[in-house]
Amino acid sequence: MPSFYKEYHPYISPFDPCPPIKTKVYSTPPNLYLGFQPPHLPQFSPMEALKAGTLWKTFYDPYYGPNEKKS
């Protein structure tokens, strides 16, 4: 399974007055890696689906801020 987090290294100018961020990270949604929705995907219970924001476990993608720990 591919990672939902990608990273890249932006150009750092020698004339930039600010300290550079050498590696930047971004998130990609899980549906990019699924060509079509196959039948019989595992599902959340109705209450879990309301909390997760999706019925299917395959499409669940929690967002963690830069200062939050992954649980």
Q: Specify if 32 maps to a domain.
A: yes
Q: Specify if 29 maps to a domain.
A: yes
Long-range contacts for 59-65 (Cβ within 8 Å, ≥24 apart)? 59/30, 59/31, 59/34, 60/30, 61/4, 61/27, 61/29, 61/30, 63/27
Write the pLDDT tens digit of every residue in 1-58. 567 788 999 999 999 899 999 999 888 888 888 888 888 999 999 999 999 999 999 8
Write the pLDDT tens digit of every residue in 31-46. 888 888 888 999 999 9
Q: Specify if 68 maps to a domain.
A: no
Q: Specify if 20 maps to a domain.
A: yes
Q: Specify if 67 maps to a domain.
A: no
Number of domains forming the structure of the chain: 1
- What pLDDT, on a 0 to 100 scale, did the predictor assign at position 49? 94
Q: At residue 67, what is the residue type?
A: N
Domain region containing 55: 5-59
Residues 45 and 49: their CA atoms lie apart, in Å, by 6
Tokens of 62: 């929690």
Q: Specify if 66 maps to a domain.
A: no
Whether the Cβ atoms of residue 4 and residue 61 lie closer than 8 Å to each other: yes
